[in-house]
């Protein structure tokens, strides 16, 4: 009788032809951390590489109702916990402080895409801090103090750095269920030793009655676009659904484009490709419970009217993978922007892992989907993962314990030396006036530093147009050398703004009649 894994492989061999070199393991798989150790007990999750050339990755530990955030510097071999509050030992605490220390929440780390002038790698994250509500903080790898960027009593979350590293977009509940705000001129905030909160302001980007979350900046620093999932109310429907939107932050009005608009399905988790910055990956799921969650791609372009539109109108979106697993890491672009890596929601086979060549899939060519058997057969309980260049980091559950592994991968679906060829850019050839609306002033509020941090709201101006397109070139030799260091070190360690209007630039999805 054939084993389940064999049946799975035969099934996919019958449905598609894969490239035998699409994704392969290279060399040893190195164990970095394990929850077997007392100081790392609990669930290890959300591993995330810093962008090159940094040799740092982050991960989270969930234990006893608390969420801890850690940074590991591979070059220095040092593990640091990100702490905005410190547990008081041997001191009788007030009831309020006791509750706070039992609800520690440091999570949602997002790495800054570029280093600062001192070659430091910054990151943003959310923390309950001593205010006991979610606020945005930033810090740098190797540092021990953190700058608090928001101080509203409402929750702020989902921070995302702009591609030039000088702005942070985030969702805030200060104006309702969740609008998008922008903190700009972050370099000035970092370099200002006084950091007077009354000198800074936030800019509000959206003003809708429902939540906007899961923000994703377009990687082209000249495009000024943010994709996100918006909770949408449809006339005549009792159930709201999440839909994909794209906002152009250089326009004071008419700046939101609908990518999906379907009252019968949720669309969430948008993610741009790093190569062309024109392909938008997201997940769609029909409201019926038995429907699977599928991966979709929309290719966007600027229309003659200066607004975004679907690059190929026929087919509002293209399904590239069926029944994707939503737990842990759902899908990521591989370097080079031609393929994504994801897991199938097939628990009886322990969620097999695949690479999907998007270029071939969109062109309806063979060898588009590849089962990563070498990895899945050796580590069948992978929960979370991240990729950078030819490096892969993943969490595997082994019995009651969770282990983080590092390894190198290679194959036709990864192009770590590819030069980005951005195809969107052109927000009206950079001739659009900068919106000056300011959402909220914090003048008169007194900054507090009881937890060793300084609260700082943002400013309200569009970053200066960068020279060129900031295209990236990742050298294979450098990546290989960095990976070598990983292996050596780990082995030795062992251990109040405008109201946006909606533009129907993409068209109606297949489930709705075309009203264009």
Q: What pLDDT is recorded for position 496?
A: 38
Per-residue pLDDT of the chain (516 residues; tens, 9 = 90+): 444 443 333 333 333 434 457 899 999 999 999 999 989 999 999 999 999 999 999 999 999 888 999 999 998 999 999 988 755 444 454 555 555 555 688 999 999 999 999 999 999 999 986 666 899 999 999 998 898 898 888 899 999 999 999 999 999 999 888 999 999 889 988 988 777 655 666 899 998 889 999 999 999 998 899 999 999 999 988 899 999 999 999 877 658 889 999 999 999 999 999 999 999 999 999 998 778 999 999 999 888 777 788 876 544 789 999 999 988 888 999 999 999 999 999 999 999 999 999 999 988 898 899 999 999 999 999 999 999 999 999 999 999 999 999 999 999 999 998 899 998 876 665 554 444 444 443 332 333 333 333 333 333 333 333 333 333 323 233 333 333 333 323 332 333 343 444 333 343 333 333 332
Q: DSSP for 224-290?
A: -EEEEEEEE--TT-SS-EEEEEEEETT-SSS-EEES---TTEEEEEEEE-TTTS-EEEEEEEESSTT
Going by the DSSP 8-state scheme, the letter that residue 223 receives in this structure is T
CA torsion sign, 416 to 419 to 424 to 429? positive
- pTM of the predicted structure, to 2 decimals: 0.79
Q: DSSP for 28-94?
A: EEEEEEETTSGGG-SEEEEEEEPPTT--EEEEEEEETTEEEEEEEETTTTEEEEE-SS-PPSSSPPP
The radius of gyration computed from the CA coordinates of the chain, to the nearest angstrom, equals 23
The answer to whether 67 and 29 are in contact (CB under 8 A) is: no
**pLDDT tens digit string along 269-306?**
999 999 999 999 999 999 987 789 999 999 998 887 77
Q: What pLDDT is recorded for position 455?
A: 33
Q: What pLDDT is recorded for position 495?
A: 35
Question: Torsion-angle region of residue 146: left (phi > 0), alpha (psi -120 to 50) or beta?
Answer: beta
**pLDDT tens digit string along 10-68?**
333 333 434 457 899 999 999 999 999 989 999 999 999 999 999 999 999 999 888 99
Going by the DSSP 8-state scheme, the letter that residue 318 receives in this structure is E
The answer to whether 189 and 456 are in contact (CB under 8 A) is: yes
What tokens were used for 381?
């309980």
CA distance 176 to 117: 37
- Beta partners for residue 70, in sequence order: 59, 81
CA distance 248 to 269: 18
Q: What separation in angstroms does the CA of 470 have from each of 122, 146, 270, 415, 465?
A: 18, 28, 22, 18, 11
């Amino acid at each position: 009788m054939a084993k389940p894994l064999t049946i799975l492989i035969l099934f996919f061999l019958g449905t598609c032809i894969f490239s035998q070199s699409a994704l392969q393991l290279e060399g040893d798989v190195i164990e970095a951390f394990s929850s077997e150790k007392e100081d790392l007990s609990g669930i290890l999750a959300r591993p995330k590489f810093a962008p090159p050339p940094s040799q740092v990755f982050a991960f989270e530990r969930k234990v006893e109702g608390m969420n801890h955030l850690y940074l590991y510097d591979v070059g220095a071999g040092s593990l640091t916990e990100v702490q905005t509050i410190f547990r008081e030992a041997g001191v009788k605490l007030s009831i309020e402080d006791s509750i706070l220390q039992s609800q520690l929440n440091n999570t949602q780390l997002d790495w800054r895409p570029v280093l600062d002038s001192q070659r430091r790698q910054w990151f943003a994250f959310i923390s309950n801090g001593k205010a006991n509500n979610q606020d945005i903080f930033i810090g740098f790898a190797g540092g021990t103090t953190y700058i608090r960027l928001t101080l509203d009593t409402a929750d702020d979350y989902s921070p995302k750095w702009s591609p030039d590293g000088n702005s942070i977009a985030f969702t805030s509940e200060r104006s309702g269920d969740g609008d998008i705000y922008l903190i700009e001129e972050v370099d000035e905030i970092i370099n200002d030793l006084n950091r007077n909160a009354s000198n800074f302001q936030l800019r509000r980007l959206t003003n809708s009655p429902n939540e906007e979350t899961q923000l994703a900046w377009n990687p082209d620093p000249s495009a000024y676009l943010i994709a996100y999932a918006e909770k949408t109310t449809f006339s005549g429907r009792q159930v709201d659904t999440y839909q994909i939107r794209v906002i152009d932050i250089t326009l004071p009005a008419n700046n939101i484009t609908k990518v999906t608009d379907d009252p019968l399905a949720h669309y969430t988790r948008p993610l741009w490709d790093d190569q062309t910055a024109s392909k938008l990956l997201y997940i769609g799921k029909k409201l019926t419970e038995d429907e699977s969650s599928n991966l979709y791609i929309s290719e966007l372009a600027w229309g003659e009217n200066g607004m975004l539109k679907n690059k190929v109108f026929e087919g509002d979106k293209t399904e590239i993978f069926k029944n994707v697993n939503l737990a842990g890491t759902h899908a990521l672009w591989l370097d080079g922007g031609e393929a994504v890596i994801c897991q199938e929601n097939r628990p009886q086979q322990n969620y097999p892992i695949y690479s999907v060549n998007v270029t071939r899939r969109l062109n309806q060519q063979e060898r588009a989907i590849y089962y990563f058997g070498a990895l899945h057969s050796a580590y069948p309980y992978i929960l979370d993962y991240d990729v950078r260049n030819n490096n892969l980091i993943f969490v595997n559950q082994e019995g009651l314990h969770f282990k983080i592994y590092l390894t190198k991968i290679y194959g036709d679906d990864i192009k770590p030396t590819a030069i980005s060829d951005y195809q969107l850019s052109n927000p009206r050839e950079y001739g659009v006036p900068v919106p000056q609306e300011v959402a909220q002033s914090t003048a008169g509020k007194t900054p507090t530093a009881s937890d060793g941090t300084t609260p700082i709201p943002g400013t309200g101006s569009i970053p200066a147009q960068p020279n060129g397109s900031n295209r990236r070139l990742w050298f294979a030799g450098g990546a290989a050398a960095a990976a070598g260091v990983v292996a050596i070190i780990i082995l030795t360690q062992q251990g109040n703004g405008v109201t946006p209007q909606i533009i129907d630039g993409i068209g109606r999805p297949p489930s709705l009649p075309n009203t264009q």
